[in-house]
Homo-oligomer: A and B are copies of this chain.
Amino acid sequence: MALIIEKRFMIEAIAEAKLALAADEVPVGAVVVMGSEIIARAHNTVEVSRDGTLHAELRALQFAAKAVGNRRLSECILYVTLEPCAMCAGACVNARIGALAFGAYDAVAGACGSVVSLTDGVLGNVVVPTIGGIYGEQCGKLLTSYFKEKRR
Contact = CB atoms under 8 A, between A and B. Distances in A.
Interface string A106-150: 001101000110100011100000000000000000000000000
Given A89-B86, A90-B87, A53 B118 contact: no
Interface residues of A, number: 37
Contacts of A122: 115-116
Contacts of A118: 86, 116
Count this chain's copies in the assembly: 2
A125 to B, nearest CB: 9
Nearest to A73: B52
Contact of A51 (B53, B66, B116): B66
5 contacts: A53-B58, A53-B62, A55-B94, A85-B94, A116-B122
